Structure 1
Amino acid sequence: MPVAGRRMASLDHAGMPVMMPRESDGEMRRDGSSAADVQPKHPVAKMFGPQTDDADVKDFTERCKDDRHHFRFIVSPEDASDMEDLKRFTRELMTQAEKDLGTKLEWVAVDHWNTDNPHVHVIVRGRADDGRDLVIDRDYIKSGMRDRAQDLITQELSPRTDLDISRALSRQIEAERWTQLDRQLVRDANEEGVIDVAPSPDRQPDAYLTQKVGRLRHLEHLGLAEAIGPGQWVMAEGAESTLRELGQRNDIIKRMHRALDE
């Protein structure tokens, strides 16, 4: 589980090819006019880049049209609502990635505040600064880049206490999306996929047992986990993809409701 002192960020990724964003692309450029309901200080969402808050999507798409592939990922700081500027954070993260990868990166992004989980979508062009195909190891995006993001968040917001972590995990118990708590439960599973949360004299007490059990019971209610014995669960096959789809669908529904209320 998370340790006190370090802020957390999830980073979901997908290698491309993908369709490049259009100026009206709903996935990459959502109408943030109702974002004030969640975060009043943030204006309408626009694509941004390394040096601009209003990126030329048409120009970026034109430069990318002959690339063999692209990279897309979503950065979701757990404490995003407490952060001063997600754009600045993204630029600092991408600058660090350039240092790690040894090349300049061409990218565009958009920050979404009109959900319960503020996040940033980033598309990186599949070309290195020497003109060759850009290669980014999946482990770097999954682990290395996430570590960089967590370090940046910790620097901005100061270290987290055990109480901060406990409260954050408690908010995830009934979330209908793929969460940090779910990732930890997957790591806790044994080779047969059994998650054993029953107290045992052979193990140290789990500081987050309450949150884990609560989450497993909620997943069971959703049909995404099954209790197979006292304190033992297995997660359903496809639970991750189902929760990710639920999270995306809930975001869409919330945006529709806001639009109807306007």
Structure 2
Amino acid sequence: MKKIIGFIGAGNMGQAMVGGIVKSKLLQPQQVMMADRSEERLKVVSKEYGIKVNTDNKEVAKNADVLILSVKPNIYAPVIEEIKDIVKEDVIIITIAAGKDISGTEKGFGRKLKVVRAMPNTPALVGEGMTSISPNEKLSNEEIDEVVKILKSFGKVEIVNEKLMNAVTSVSGSSPAYVFMFIEAMADGAVLDGIPRDQAYRMAAQAVLGSAKMVLDTGMHPGALKDMVCSPSGTTIEAVTTLEKTGFRAAVISAMKSCTNKSIEMSK
């Protein structure tokens, strides 16, 4: 691929995506540019990945064939206002902020551009990201395939209807935080039973990793996989019963609904 990929914003998500792209070797580091107001942050990114960095958003915007806006939702408008007249006519704009829809992005640029609304997550940094995308009608099938290829360099990709993007935020965009909390809670329980903290984290994290891989690799229903572990009158069914009594599933579903509602609120 001979494209220049530009990022505006060197926050956690932007760095995770850059890390995934560079580590996958889909692009050479010199094909990736990143702009941010923080020189300190850019120095870290440049040293870690060897990409081109600049404090001038316009410098990145005018050179990018694919431009990823990886900034906080509250500064999307001023960033777009700054770069809208200098981006390439055939640039592909990828937005990753919750609540920023395609029509709003088009309105900000003042014209119809090729826009892809995306929702990645931070596991992109270790090549295990989950990104959902909704492209507008300006992109050809070949260009959509190109975007998918870029995003697959750091994980899996799903194409969804844009109206589902708020739900995507809760199921994959924000959910690593829930999983980290679950791992931390499991480790706390292990420490309570005497297992050293560092071992507890490794054991809990590997259990989550392996379980997720079983769901993806076997294609089996998660409930069926759960049943395989639950022996009659055994330790696992005892734990599962306690989780049900304390509202484990209800708590997760309620948290996700709150996340989706917040994303909807941010879109207004």
Normalised by the size of structure 2, how large is the TM-score? 0.24
Question: Greater helix share, 1 or 2?
Answer: 2
Q: Taking CA–CA contacts closer than 8 Å with sequence separation of 6 or more, which of the two structures ends up with the larger relative contact order?
A: 1
Normalised by the size of structure 1, how large is the TM-score? 0.24
Structure with bigger gyration radius: 2
